């Protein structure tokens, strides 16, 4: 395995959870709902995935549990914001805090146990191809799922009728409602999808990235996923690019350090965040681009009979 | 009748004495930088707390606050413990130093113990561990076993405690192989499993075949196991995460110290001090030497024995600083003040120390 290939693989592992969680949140926001609880749903996915994989010995069952846990947790958010019409920002923040606390409690007995790691693909001949073999044919299944998910979300949002309806709900829920579109039901489904994605991203963390459970192991990755959605100005392909850019900068700075390049490590560690801020500033300068893609009803409450 | 009254008063006074005795139960508080389940630094402090409870039984009552960030939050948390009636408070991270001293001024009757710092006061004692003694042994093992002649070192923050470790590891390695190299990556975090794993992967990709860490999670050990190289554990015995990977681990053994200090408060003999204890006092313990040939194991044990007896002091000259200037002349040993404030690399470390 060449160094180039090795770095590429590490970047993919670092980018995958960000990509999956951000894709889920993108669909949620496209439907007009702002769920700031990504970090909380992610960490719930991580603990559920680890716990089930540890008890059953199957990483796949763990991954399914992670998805279900994320979705179930998002249902709580859906019930509060869509049925009881609470403030979405406050509810999302509460979801994150609750998730961090609850996962620590649930996971207490799983701390310090080596986990079950999801095995990487190994296809004879193809995996051994020089330079790209490992990257294209030798990664863990979640990597391929993340790429398929990107394609799926693009296809769904922009090529299907259901995707068009979802975007219409996000842009103007009153008009959509007057046309007989079930706004609340669509938003529930979007929130559930977002939760499932966040859960899967959490499962990737505790079953692929670092096969262990420790409190707060998401370490802010849910927030980065949220930033990526804005960074990508609500376009799925740009999320893919953003996640890999973020991954590349964070891994690149570690390699630069190991090579002994004399740049202060504190500066290097802040590079990924600096890059995100710069791109966000550049995007928000372009008014037309932002307006074109921002779901107009984002974060606004909707009560059907109004 | 008189007898009855006497009996009643006696019973009452016993009850009062009993209550007073119950009130004398010493409340001991702990401030942790991470979760007790990190299986590293905080885990070991929590083990020490449990040993204290076990040893002194109902004479003490312990509480802890976990995940307390260094900075403004630390001050508030320490004060909370002091207000809650804790008479002895252990603050267990370097970054709590100023907060500890500040709160201590407000609560003169509470005893504070700050780990790994250097600021003392009448009611603030400092305790520190010579972890670097263990690092020296690790360096010897690494230089014996490494085929590439390069070890990877994952650091948290460039503070003296960590720099001592890097230098000591280097000196240990140089005692076996003068050309030994180490690559350093600063995670700029004590605890971020994913980032620590990434750092470990980056190091392996760049050709190191032994990893040592001064961050608190077991993630680097897992990466080392996966990539089939060797690694040293940190703060606790991490053998479960790398049964065929861990060479040894520096285990922080805080229990005896916590018991001694709580006893001192109970009998009124507590005094401030600044102690710096290592293998000799039993504060630094090495996990069993595993996954290495017998001759290396023997050498490691000999080195450990020499350090324990005081025959070998890791920072003994001749040692040059990284820039080539002389630090210690032949036979000269570094004093504790220099060690505790160490902010430079010794010759041979291939990294620029962030200032």
Of B39, B183, B194, the CB nearest to A209: B194
Of A216, A258, A265, the CB nearest to B183: A258
- Taking the CA of residue B247 and the nearest CA in chain A, the distance in Å comes to 18
* Dihedral (Cα; A238, A240, A245, A251), 10-degree rounding: 170
Residues in contact with A227: Cβ distance below 8 Å, sequence separation at least 6, in sequence order: A276, A280
Tokens describing residue A158: 């922009």
Cβ-contact A222, A41 below 8 angstroms: yes
Strand partners, B275: B127
CB pair distance less than 8 Å for A254 and B202 = yes
For the ranges A11-25, A164-178, A281-295, which has the lowest average pLDDT? Answer: A281-295
pLDDT, mean of residues B1-5: 48
**Diameter of chain A measured on Cα atoms:** 64
pLDDT, mean of residues B185-212: 91
Please indicate, yes or no, if residue A305 is contained in any of the structural domains: no
Q: Reduced to 3 states, what is the DSSP secondary structure of residue B34?
A: coil
Please indicate, yes or no, if residue A299 is contained in any of the structural domains: no
CB pair distance less than 8 Å for A210 and B197 = yes
Of B198, B222, B226, the CB nearest to A212: B222
Q: Which residue range is the domain that position A213 belongs to?
A: 3-293
- Taking the CA of residue A89 and the nearest CA in chain B, the distance in Å comes to 24
pLDDT in tens, B33-76: 988 877 788 999 999 999 999 999 999 999 999 989 888 889 99
Q: Write out the residues of chain B at the interface with chain A, using a CB-CB cutoff of 8 A.
A: 35, 37-39, 43, 67, 152, 158, 183-189, 191-195, 197-199, 201-206, 217-219, 222, 226, 240-241, 350-352, 354-355
Phi, psi of B150 (to 5 degrees): -130, 130
**Number of domains chain A is built from:** 1
CATH number of the structural domain spanning residue A198: 1.10.3470
Q: What is the pLDDT of residue B236?
A: 85
User: In this structure, how many other beta carbons lie within 10 angstroms of the beta carbon of residue B281?
Assistant: 15
Cβ-contact B324, B347 below 8 angstroms: yes
pLDDT in tens, B80-127: 999 999 999 999 999 999 999 999 999 999 999 999 888 999 999 999
Q: Which of A257, A262, A270 has the most B C-beta neighbours within 10 Å, making it the best mutation to test the interface with B? A: A257
- Taking the CA of residue A18 and the nearest CA in chain B, the distance in Å comes to 12
pLDDT, mean of residues A266-283: 80
Question: In this structure, is the dihedral angle defined by the CA atoms of residues B296, B301, B306 and B310, taken in order, positive or negative?
Answer: positive
In angstroms, the CA B48 to CA B258 distance is 7
- Taking the CA of residue B198 and the nearest CA in chain A, the distance in Å comes to 7
Q: Which of these, B106, B136, B131, lies nearest to B121 by C-alpha position?
A: B106
Please compute, for residue A15, the number of CA atoms within 13 A of its CA located in the half-sphere on the CB side: 26
Question: Who has greater pLDDT, B337 or A201?
Answer: A201
pLDDT bin (cut points 50, 70, 90) of residue B23 is low
Of A212, A216, A265, the CB nearest to B218: A212
A108 to chain B, any CB pair closer than 8 A? The answer is: yes
pLDDT in tens, A213-244: 988 888 889 999 999 998 888 999 999 999 99
Of B35, B197, B205, the CB nearest to A209: B197
pLDDT, mean of residues A135-161: 94
Tokens describing residue B306: 């020499």
**pTM, entire model:** 0.84
Tokens describing residue B260: 């001694």
CB pair distance less than 8 Å for A254 and B217 = no
Please indicate, yes or no, if residue A303 is contained in any of the structural domains: no
pLDDT, mean of residues B182-197: 90
pLDDT in tens, A44-102: 999 999 999 999 999 999 999 999 999 999 999 999 999 999 999 999 999 999 999 99
Please indicate, yes or no, if residue A20 is contained in any of the structural domains: yes
User: In this structure, how many other beta carbons lie within 10 angstroms of the beta carbon of residue A274?
Assistant: 12
Chain B residues with beta carbon closer than 8 angstroms to that of A215: 35, 37-38, 67
Tokens describing residue A243: 């996640």
- pLDDT for B12 beyond 70: no
Q: Reduced to 3 states, what is the DSSP secondary structure of residue B163?
A: helix
Q: Reduced to 3 states, what is the DSSP secondary structure of residue B81?
A: helix
Q: With residue B130 as reference, give the H or E element that holds it.
A: none
Residue percentage of chain A with pLDDT more than 90: 61
In angstroms, the CA A224 to CA A38 distance is 10
Q: What is the pLDDT of residue A237?
A: 94
A254 to chain B, any CB pair closer than 8 A? The answer is: yes
In angstroms, the CA B165 to CA B182 distance is 12
Q: What is the mean pLDDT of chain B?
A: 89
pLDDT, mean of residues B251-255: 93
Q: What is the pLDDT of residue A1?
A: 61
- pLDDT for A284 beyond 60: yes
Please indicate, yes or no, if residue A60 is contained in any of the structural domains: yes
- pLDDT for B339 beyond 50: yes
Please indicate, yes or no, if residue A50 is contained in any of the structural domains: yes
Interface A–B counts its CB contacts (< 8 A) at 110
Instruction: Specify the pairing of strand B246-252 against strand B230-235.
Output: parallel
Please indicate, yes or no, if residue A164 is contained in any of the structural domains: yes
Residues in contact with B333: Cβ distance below 8 Å, sequence separation at least 6, in sequence order: B313, B315, B316, B317
Residue of chain B nearest A4, judged by CA positions: B205
- pLDDT for B7 beyond 70: no
Please indicate, yes or no, if residue A304 is contained in any of the structural domains: no
Say what the ipTM of the complex is: 0.85
Tokens describing residue A84: 């009881």
Chain A residues with beta carbon closer than 8 angstroms to that of B222: 114, 210-212
């Amino acid at each position: 395995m060449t160094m180039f290939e090795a770095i590429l693989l590490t970047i993919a592992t670092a980018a995958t959870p960000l990509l999956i969680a951000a894709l889920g949140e993108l669909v949620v926001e496209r439907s007009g709902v702002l769920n700031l609880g990504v970090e909380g749903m992610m960490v719930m996915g991580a603990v559920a995935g680890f716990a089930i994989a540890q008890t059953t010995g199957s990483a796949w069952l763990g991954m399914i549990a992670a998805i279900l846990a994320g979705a179930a947790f998002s249902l709580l958010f859906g019930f509060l914001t869509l049925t009881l019409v609470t403030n979405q920002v406050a509810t999302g923040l509460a979801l994150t805090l609750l998730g961090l606390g609850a996962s620590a409690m649930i996971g207490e007995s799983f701390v310090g146990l080596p986990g079950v790691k999801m095995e990487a693909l190994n296809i004879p001949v193809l995996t051994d191809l020089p330079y790209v073999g490992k990257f294209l044919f030798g990664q863990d299944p979640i990597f391929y799922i993340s790429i398929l998910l990107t394609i799926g979300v693009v296809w769904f949002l922009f090529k299907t009728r259901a995707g068009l309806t979802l975007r219409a709900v996000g842009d103007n829920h009153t008009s959509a409602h007057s046309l007989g579109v079930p706004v609340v039901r669509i938003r529930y489904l979007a929130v559930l999808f977002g939760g499932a994605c966040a859960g899967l991203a959490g499962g990737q963390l505790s079953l692929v990235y670092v096969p262990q459970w420790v409190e707060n192991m998401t370490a802010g990755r849910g927030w980065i996923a949220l930033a990526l959605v804005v960074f990508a100005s609500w376009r799925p392909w740009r999320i893919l690019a953003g996640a890999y850019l973020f991954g590349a900068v964070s891994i690149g700075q570690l390699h630069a350090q190991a090579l002994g390049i004399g740049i202060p490590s504190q500066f290097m560690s802040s590079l990924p965040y600096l890059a995100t801020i710069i791109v966000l500033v550049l995007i928000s300068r372009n008014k037309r681009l932002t307006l074109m893609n921002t779901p107009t009803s984002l974060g606004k409450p909707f009560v059907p009979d109004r | 009748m008189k007898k009855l009254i006497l009996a009643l008063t006696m019973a009452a006074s016993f009850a009062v004495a009993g209550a007073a005795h119950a009130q004398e139960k010493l409340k001991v508080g702990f401030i942790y930088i991470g979760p007790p389940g990190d299986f590293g630094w905080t885990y070991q402090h929590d083990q020490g707390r449990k040993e204290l409870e076990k040893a002194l039984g109902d004479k003490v009552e312990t509480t802890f606050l976990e995940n307390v960030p260094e900075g403004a939050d630390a001050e508030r948390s320490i004060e909370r413990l002091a207000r809650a009636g804790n008479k002895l408070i252990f603050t267990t991270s370097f970054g709590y130093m100023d907060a500890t001293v500040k709160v201590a001024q407000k609560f003169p009757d509470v005893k504070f113990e700050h780990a790994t710092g250097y600021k003392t006061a009448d009611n603030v004692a400092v305790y520190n561990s010579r972890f670097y003694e263990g690092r020296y042994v690790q360096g010897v093992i690494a230089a014996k076993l490494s085929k590439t002649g390069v070890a990877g070192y994952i650091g948290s923050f460039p503070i003296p405690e960590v720099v001592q470790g890097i230098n000591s590891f280097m000196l240990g390695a140089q005692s076996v192989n003068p050309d030994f190299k180490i690559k350093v990556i600063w995670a700029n975090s004590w605890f971020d499993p994913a980032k620590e794993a990434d750092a470990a992967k980056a190091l392996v990709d760049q050709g190191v075949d032994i990893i040592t860490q001064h961050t608190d999670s077991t993630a680097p050990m897992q990466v080392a196991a996966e990539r089939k190289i060797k690694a040293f554990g940190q703060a606790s015995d991490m053998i479960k995460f790398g049964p065929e990977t861990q060479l040894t681990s520096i285990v922080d053994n805080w229990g005896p110290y916590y018991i001694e200090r709580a006893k001192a408060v109970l009998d009124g003999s507590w005094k401030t001090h600044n102690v710096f204890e290592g293998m000799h006092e039993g504060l630094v313990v090495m996990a069993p030497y595993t996954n290495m040939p017998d001759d290396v194991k023997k050498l490691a044990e000999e080195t450990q024995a020499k350090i324990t007896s005081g025959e070998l002091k890791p920072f003994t000259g001749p040692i040059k600083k990284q820039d080539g200037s002389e630090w210690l002349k032949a036979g000269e040993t570094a004093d504790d003040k220099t060690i505790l404030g160490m902010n430079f690399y010794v010759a041979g470390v291939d990294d620029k120390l962030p200032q």
